Amino acid sequence: MKHRKSLEGSLAVIGTYVPRQCGIATFTHDLVSALTHHVYGRPELAPEVVSVVALNDRDGEYQYGSEVEFQIGQHRKEEYRSAADFLNNSEIAGVCLQHEYGIFGGDCGEYLFELLDRLRKPLVTTLHSIISEPSKKQQEVLQRIGQQSSSVVVMAERGRVLLEQRYGLPPDKIRLIHHGVPDLPFGDTEPFKARFGLSGRPIILTFGLLGPGKSIETVLDALARVVPDNPNVAYVVLGVTHPAIKRESGESYRLSLERRVVELGIQENVIFHNRFASFRDLCAYLQAADIYVTPYREREQITSGTLALAVASGKAVVSTPYWYAEELLGDGRGRLVGFDDVDGFADAINDLVSNEGQRDTLRRAAYAFGRDMTWARVAAQYSDAFVHAQSAASSPKLDVLDRQRIALRLSLPEARLDHLLRLTDDTGILQHAVHSMPGRRHGYSTDDTARAVVVCTMMWSLFHDDRVLRPLETYLAYLFDARPTASGRFRNFMSYDRRWVDTEGSDDCQGRVLWAAGYLIAHAPDETMRKLAGELFESAAASFEHIDSPRSWSFAILGLHYFLRQADDCPDARNRLEMLARRLDGMFARHATEEWPWYEEVVTYDNGRLAQALIIAGLQLNDEAMKERGLRTLHWLLEVQTAGDGHLSIIGNEGWYPVKGERARFDQLPLEPASLIGACKAAYRATDNPVWLAQMRRCFQWYLGKNDGGLSLVDFKTRGCYDGLTAEGVNRNQGAESTVSWLLSLLTMHEMQTGEALPGSLIRSGRPDPG
């Protein structure tokens, strides 16, 4: 069935892709193959007619075929933008998106919009999951995808109903296209059993990626009740453990199933094949099987490739009543059994094993229904969807100005922790370096370690890079050892021989620990780290009644803010945040004048954190005046640190900037741009004014040479940051504070920046408009 004449141009499919082991990867490959063969008439995969944009969950892990022309790292926001450029500048005439929240980066997969918002090609989206009671964010994401798609494909009628009633999508945008399946012949199972050494035995089959949600133990318990009446029955469980489950808990689920088999005494009736079966092997197992079982626990499962394949190949199916099974097995096409209903599975299996006539009736009904699910039919329906999308497309081709805007997008250096890890040993992070060589003489500090926790947690949150987990554990161990003694305060300095050289740390030290703990609680890689961070948080929070430092208050406000993201119903944390914010706001009221809108009589270091804290606290407490004072101080800080040509000129530490005095030009510390970038991030989120994004870029450029010395502060060979800009040039040492400041800045830029060109006046002026 050829539809080439009515479909114009080539297609691209976005999704996970083989050899990645997941159901969507298999579906994407099969859809690409079907479109290539049945729509374009090509016997082999051909990227010139159907190409693939593949989603990676691990860098460089997969060896793809030539049909994969672009790859996106799941947690790399900039690669979604680059994918949009690739698609827009290609001859591709339409894009098919495979959607499931978990395969894309960001909250509920929102990084996807870095691609979709820029895409100028007709879009058809296939939904692999539809949640009946979504979170607000999940609903917003799916509605936005629906708005940007010409057609939305569902694989079950219930999906159509959900999209209309729960998500408000217009009915004419929704298409029901079944999960595609190969066109296998209907026939006797016995000839195929000899290959597996199971001739003459009734075969029950389950295949797919294993995990606790598959509830294989229910079938094992049922099988123990089947074997006395049917001792020759064989249950084949074909498939590897789901990679995500295996990363978290190894093979514990599979091992528990094997133990259960032994305990039940059914060793001669159960066969586990721990491998990802090839398509050919899978078809052979299906043709040999008499009964197929899916005992899944998740009622809202809206599609299942394994069930679709079993039904279309004419199997007698016994399943729990998840949504897709209810629809596919209705009207006498299978047997439905309650969730975790051992007796129900035992009765149904016994009945079908013993009654060949009933088994054959189910098989024929299922096979007849499956004729509408073959890939030839499905490919034709997708072709029709693209013909409709092309006829409805209204977006013009990119004009010259659009192409110039793409060319002007600003890139960011890759976020790499090489030098941070060079400074890190099995104790913590060394404070200082001689050039790039770690300096052991000065040992370690809690100040630097706490900030390193924020860096590693940000790295995990943005990129899910497992390499940060070990140093993060090291930093946490250091902070636990630094916990308060009799003084009630965290210690700060440890010598290289692991002796504490102070009894209590500075006020800044206390605040930075609370900041680090709160940030980790909000973005922890796992629950163990979240609990550890919670213990640190409680230890650090207890000391703030008697701390009088505005910077320490500011760090603590940041930590409390992040904590409240995970525990917004915690009145103690909210009260502490309000107490510290009122203190900080009170200092502003006591010291600020029209010409000097500042909290103290001298502007020193990490100044942006004070403005950031007041902005965030104003938002958290719904105090508009407090937020505006934070914005005012940030605007002033940027104004007084702007040179004549618009570049950032940091207040130096050789005298700082006293009220009614001259500000020092040197030495300029990398700490300050990091604090300003953090404050501009808060300002942008408080105002939605893109001028603050431009200010972030201006501050970031200080590291790269747009400064008073015209010199880069970043060593891209070591990936470290020099310790400061002096009147004579850069301080060539690359210590912990400077490197952590650079990484905090770089990661915040990766988090916030779109790369889009902003109006030139915003960037050239160097002066923000506070309105």
Q: What is the pLDDT of residues 588-640, one digit of tens each?
A: 999 999 999 999 999 999 999 999 999 999 999 999 999 999 999 999 999 99
What is residue 397's predicted lDDT score, i.e. its pLDDT?
41
Determine what percent of the chain is predicted with pLDDT higher than 70.
94
Q: What is the pLDDT of residues 193-202, one digit of tens each?
A: 999 999 999 9
User: In this structure, are strands 203-207 and 602-603 parallel, antiparallel, or unpaired?
Assistant: unpaired
Q: What is the pLDDT of residues 373-422, one digit of tens each?
A: 999 999 999 999 999 998 876 544 434 334 434 334 567 899 999 999 99
For residue 205, list its beta bridge partners.
236, 292
What is residue 59's predicted lDDT score, i.e. its pLDDT?
58
What is residue 1's predicted lDDT score, i.e. its pLDDT?
42
Query: Rounded distance, CA 141 to CA 724, Å?
Result: 43
Say which DSSP state 250 is in: T
What is the dihedral angle through the alpha carbons of 576, 633, 679, 619, rounded to the nearest 10 degrees?
50
What is residue 757's predicted lDDT score, i.e. its pLDDT?
53
What is residue 180's predicted lDDT score, i.e. its pLDDT?
95
Query: Rounded distance, CA 176 to CA 372, Å?
Result: 12
* Cα distances (angstroms) measured from residue 380 to each of 35, 160, 386: 8, 20, 10
Residues 6+ away with beta carbon under 8 Å from 149:
97, 123, 124, 125, 173
Say which DSSP state 157 is in: H
Query: Rounded distance, CA 275 to CA 257, Å?
Result: 16
Q: What is the pLDDT of residues 670-693, one digit of tens each?
A: 999 999 999 999 999 999 999 999
Burial class (CB in 10 A: 0-12, 13-18, 19+), 265: exposed
Distance between alpha carbon 547 and the CA centroid of its chain, in Å? 37
Asked if residue 314 lies in contact with residue 363, where contact means CB atoms within 8 angstroms, the answer is yes
- Better pLDDT: 310 or 398: 310
Residues 6+ away with beta carbon under 8 Å from 167:
130, 139, 142, 143, 146
Closest residue by Cα to residue 600 from 558, 641, 554, 639? 554
pTM above 0.85, yes or no: no
Asked if residue 303 lies in contact with residue 373, where contact means CB atoms within 8 angstroms, the answer is no
Provide the H-helix boundaries in 35-176. 77-88, 112-116, 136-148, 157-165
Asked if residue 696 lies in contact with residue 608, where contact means CB atoms within 8 angstroms, the answer is no
- Better pLDDT: 398 or 481: 481
| Helix (H) or strand (E) run with residue 13 in it | strand 10-15
To 10 degrees, what angle do helices 527-541 and 550-566 make? Answer: 140
| Beta strand ranges found along 162-297 (DSSP E) | 174-176, 203-207, 234-238, 270-273, 291-294
Residue 755 pLDDT class (50, 70, 90 cuts):
low
What is residue 247's predicted lDDT score, i.e. its pLDDT?
78
Say if residue 579's pLDDT is above 90.
yes
To 10 degrees, what angle do helices 446-463 and 736-752 make? Answer: 30
What is residue 6's predicted lDDT score, i.e. its pLDDT?
66
- The mean pLDDT value of the chain amounts to 91
Closest residue by Cα to residue 99 from 55, 68, 56? 55
Percentage helix, strand, coil for the chain under 3-state DSSP, each rounded to 5:
50, 15, 35
Determine what percent of the chain is predicted with pLDDT higher than 90.
82
- Better pLDDT: 9 or 603: 603
What is residue 771's predicted lDDT score, i.e. its pLDDT?
43
**Low-confidence winner among 88-102, 129-143, 230-244, 385-399 (lowest mean pLDDT):** 385-399
What is residue 407's predicted lDDT score, i.e. its pLDDT?
39
> Collapsing DSSP states into helix, strand and coil, what is residue 285?
helix
Asked if residue 102 lies in contact with residue 243, where contact means CB atoms within 8 angstroms, the answer is no
Distance between alpha carbon 382 and the CA centroid of its chain, in Å? 29
Give the side-chain half-sphere CA count within 13 A for 586.
Answer: 9
Q: What is the pLDDT of residues 167-207, one digit of tens each?
A: 999 999 999 999 999 998 898 899 999 999 999 999 999 99
What is residue 187's predicted lDDT score, i.e. its pLDDT?
86
User: In this structure, are strands 316-319 and 335-336 parallel, antiparallel, or unpaired?
Assistant: parallel
Query: Rounded distance, CA 81 to CA 102, Å?
Result: 19
